[in-house]
Structure 1
C-alpha cells in the first residue's frame, strides 16, 4: 500500500506572504521539505520541491530501514517562485499530475501525508481520485486548516473550550490595536503582537514601554515609551502586521522568562492519541526542542495535557484530522497559558513518530531523551556524517544513543540540524557541546 508524501513545508498559511520570502528563506524551506524522507516506507511516492541529495536519502533510509530503491520522487516543474518550495502553481501543473499518476501506477494512493493540508493539497487528492486517502478531507477541502491554524481563530477556540490563554484580544483596525496595546501597557505589562499566519516566532514582535526586555518567541523588542510612539509604530507596521489589511492581528500580554511547552497529538475519527510532550528552545525564536520536556513537574504537565486535550477534542469535533501541536507557556508565577495550535506536521513530528518510534524501538523509547538543535555549521552533509563517526558521536543502533543528522540545510545556510539521543538530558547536552567543537575547519 502506497503513501503519497508531499513536502509542502512552506505555505502562505504557515509563513505568510510567500512572495516576501528571501531566496535564502525559500531554499531553507526546500531543504526542510527533504525531511519528509523520514516518514517514507518501502514503495512510497514523495513529491518534493527538488530531488534530495543521494547521500542524505541514503543516510535517512539507512536509519529507518527503508529500501531507497523502492521510493519514487516526483519533482514538479519550476513555478512562479522557482524551484525551492512546492508553491500551489507547481502542484497543479498538468505535466506534473501525469507523471505523478504514472509513479502511483495509475492507482490512487492508500494514504496521503502532507506537511500542510491546504486547498491545493485537497485539490491534488481530488485530481487523483484519492479523497478518502487524505485524513479529514471534507474539512480541509473547505479551507478548514486555515481556520484552525489562525492565531486569531485559536483565541476564540481556546476561550470557547475554557482553555487558559494570555490576556489580550484580536483586532482588525489600527485604533483597536492602539487601545489594546496601551491598555496592557497601562497595567504594567509588555505586549506581544502576532500575525494571524506565520510560524517559528518570525511573525511576532514584542512591544515594551521601557528597555531591558529580552526577546523570547519573537526576533526583536520595540520600545514605545508613550501613546504617540505606539501610534507611530502601528502606522509604520500595520501593512506587515495584517498582510496589507487581509488578516487580523493578535495583541496579548507578553510573559518574560517563560518556558515554551507543547503537547503533540495525532487526531483520527475515533479520537486523539498523544504522541509527545516537549519543550521548545528559544534563542530568541525556535531553534530546537527537547522531548520529553525536562523542566516541568507533574502538576505543570497535568495542566498542559488538560488544556491540550480540550483543544484537540474541539478540533476533532470540528472535523480536523492529522497532527496537532498545542503550544503553551509555563509562566514564572506558575500558570500554563496556551498560545496557539499548529494543525500540521511540526518541526518535531519526525522525532515523535520516527526517531522515537522506528529508529529507537519501543523497548528503549521511554528511556531516551531527544535534544534537537539547528545550526551546526558544516561544509557538506557527507563531511558532517564522517566527522560524527570519527568522533564517536554517530547514532549507534545497538545502544540506541548518539547523534542523528535530521535535516540538511547545507545548500541554504551551510548548516545541518542534529538530534542527540541519550539516556538523560545531561548526556544529550554533552553531545551537542562536543558538536560545537567540531567546527568547519575540522570538517574539510
Structure 2
C-alpha cells in the first residue's frame, strides 16, 4: 500500500464547474456516482458524499481493497437543488462535524472531484494528488486558468495558442447563435452546437440544413442571451479517445489513455489502453497533454486534467475539449491499479468500464452473488474479473461495472458473460 497523508475525499459532483447549478436534475444524476469514491480510501481517510453509500457496497469495496471498514469515515451531505455542495455543507452545519473528523489527522489533504472553493497549493510530486484543506474561511481563490479551460470557448482559445487541432468553428453569444448556425450550415452543410459549459455530452446538438427544429433556436430553452456557445464542424468520427494527465512543478505526466464508449455524444464507458485502430494516436495525444499541462503549471495549477479527442474516418486526431478536474475515468483507473497491484500483476492491466440495464432489479448483495456464482467476479487469485464499482443503481437496473484483465479480448469475453448473468439488454 502506498504511504501518504490522510485524504479528505470531497465528492463535490454538485458544483458549477462543469454545468450551471440551474441544471439541477443533471447534476443530481451525476451525483449518484459519488459512492465510487470509496475506491480511493485508505485507513484514516474521510469521504464527504452528496448521496448515501450503502453498507453493502462499502463493505464490498473496502474488502476487495483490504482496507478495514472501521478505519474510514463517510459523511453524507444531503443535496439541495440549485446549491453547490460547498454551500450545503456550510448551511447545514456540517462543517463542525468535518472539522472534528480531520482535527487529529496531521497533514490531511483535500481531494476534490472538481476544483473550486479551495486553495490550490504546489504539490510535492506526482504521487501527491490533492490540495491543502481549507474548511471555512479564506479558501476561495482559484487557480487562474482552471475554470477557463473547463469551458469549450476557453479550450479553443488556448488550443490555438498551443498548436492543438480542434474542429473548425467559432464561439458566439447566445443572441448570435441562430445566425452563426445558419452561416456554418451554408458553408459546411452540417454543424455541432455546444454550450460553453457542459460535460458528458450534455447540451450538445447535431444539426443539418434539413432539420426543421434548429430554425426554432430563438424559442428553444437554451439559456439567457449572455451565455456563450460554440458552433463547430460535424466530424465523421471513427473513435472517441482521451488522455488523463497530472501536472505541477515537476512537469506534466500521462497517467492513462483509452477509448471512450459513447451513445451519440454521451459518455457510456471506457476501454484502456489504446489498442488496435486507436493505438497510433497515443503519442500525439500525450504531446498535446504535455503542452497543456505545462501551460497550466506555469499559471499555478497542480493536479489532474484530461484532453478529449476524436479520430475521424480519415485517421486525423482532433481535440474536442479539456477537463481541468478529475473525470469519470479517474477513480475507476485508481481502483483498477490498486486491485492489480494487490493481485501481484507485474504491469498495467487492461480495463473496461460500462453501464447497462439489467432485466430485473437486484439488490447489491444479490448482484455480487450472481457474479461470484458464475465465476466472473474479480478475485486476486484469478487476476481478472468484474467489479461493480458504483453501488446499487438509483433505478435498480442501470449497473456501472469495471472489468479488469490481461488483454482487450479477454475483457470483451468477460463482458459477454456479464451480460448473460445480469440479463443486460
TM-score (norm 2): 0.87
Q: Match of 1:395?
A: 378
2:21 to 13, 18, 24: 18
Q: How far is the alpha carbon of 1:403 from its aligned partner?
A: 0.5
The 4+ residue runs of structure 1 with deviation greater than 6 A are 120-124
Is 2:287 aligned against 1:306?
Answer: yes
Write out aligned runs for 1:116-131 (5 A): 116-119=114-117, 125-127=133-135
CA contact (8 A) 2:24 2:81 kept: no
1:404 to 367, 374, 387: 387
Is 2:409 aligned against 1:426?
Answer: yes
CA contact (8 A) 2:166 2:320 kept: yes
Q: Structure 1: which 5+ residue stretches go unaligned?
A: 132-136, 211-222
2: CA distance, partners of 1:109 / 1:102: 15
Q: How far is the alpha carbon of 1:145 from its aligned partner?
A: 3.0
Q: Match of 1:3?
A: 7
Partner-residue secondary structure (3-state), 1:202: coil
Deviates more, 1:290-299 or 1:159-168: 290-299
2: CA distance, partners of 1:365 / 1:170: 47
For residues 216-259 of structure 1, the C-alpha deviation after alignment (integer angstroms, 9 at most, x for no partner) is xxxxxxx24xxxx75x332023x41xx32343101110112331
Deviates more, 1:5-14 or 1:335-344: 5-14
Partner-residue secondary structure (3-state), 2:237: coil
For residues 87-144 of structure 1, the C-alpha deviation after alignment (integer angstroms, 9 at most, x for no partner) is 332122362111111111366652110100112788994336896xxxxx8543x6x5
2: CA distance, partners of 1:435 / 1:248: 43
2: CA distance, partners of 1:435 / 1:57: 22
2: CA distance, partners of 1:193 / 1:3: 39
1: CA distance, partners of 2:297 / 2:245: 11
Partner-residue secondary structure (3-state), 2:233: strand
Partner-residue secondary structure (3-state), 1:69: helix
Q: How far is the alpha carbon of 1:151 from its aligned partner?
A: 1.2
Partner-residue secondary structure (3-state), 1:126: coil
Deviates more, 1:104-113 or 1:4-13: 104-113
Q: Match of 2:153?
A: 152
CA contact (8 A) 2:46 2:75 kept: yes
For residues 13-50 of structure 1, the C-alpha deviation after alignment (integer angstroms, 9 at most, x for no partner) is 22x2434433xx55533321111111111001111124
Q: Match of 1:103?
A: 101
Is 2:61 aligned against 1:63?
Answer: no
Deviates more, 1:60-69 or 1:36-45: 60-69
Q: How far is the alpha carbon of 1:323 from its aligned partner?
A: 1.1
CA contact (8 A) 1:196 1:248 kept: yes
Partner-residue secondary structure (3-state), 1:89: helix
Partner-residue secondary structure (3-state), 1:360: helix
2: CA distance, partners of 1:8 / 1:407: 16
Seen in structure 2, the aligned counterparts of structure 1 residues 29 and 124 have a Cα distance that, compared at 3 Å, is farther
Partner-residue secondary structure (3-state), 1:254: coil
Seen in structure 2, the aligned counterparts of structure 1 residues 417 and 369 have a Cα distance that, compared at 3 Å, is same
CA contact (8 A) 1:281 1:289 kept: yes
Is 2:307 aligned against 1:326?
Answer: yes
For residues 64-98 of structure 1, the C-alpha deviation after alignment (integer angstroms, 9 at most, x for no partner) is 2222201112233x45329xx96332122362111
CA contact (8 A) 1:75 1:96 kept: no
Q: How far is the alpha carbon of 1:427 from its aligned partner?
A: 1.6
CA contact (8 A) 1:327 1:340 kept: yes
1: CA distance, partners of 2:225 / 2:305: 28
For residues 286-321 of structure 1, the C-alpha deviation after alignment (integer angstroms, 9 at most, x for no partner) is 110000022435542222222222122212222222
CA contact (8 A) 2:39 2:62 kept: yes
Structure with the largest fraction of helix: 1
Q: Match of 1:336?
A: 317
2:261 to 236, 258, 281: 281
2: CA distance, partners of 1:38 / 1:130: 30
Q: How far is the alpha carbon of 1:57 from its aligned partner?
A: 0.6
Is 2:112 aligned against 1:114?
Answer: yes
1: CA distance, partners of 2:157 / 2:209: 28
Q: Match of 1:194?
A: 194
1:245 to 206, 211, 225: 225
Seen in structure 2, the aligned counterparts of structure 1 residues 376 and 173 have a Cα distance that, compared at 3 Å, is closer
1:386 to 365, 369, 376: 369
1: CA distance, partners of 2:188 / 2:99: 59
2: CA distance, partners of 1:360 / 1:115: 23
CA contact (8 A) 2:241 2:309 kept: yes
For residues 293-352 of structure 1, the C-alpha deviation after alignment (integer angstroms, 9 at most, x for no partner) is 224355422222222221222122222221111111111112111010011111110232
1: CA distance, partners of 2:6 / 2:390: 24
2: CA distance, partners of 1:205 / 1:97: 40
CA contact (8 A) 2:252 2:289 kept: no
Q: Match of 1:213?
A: none
CA contact (8 A) 1:91 1:120 kept: no
CA contact (8 A) 2:12 2:86 kept: no
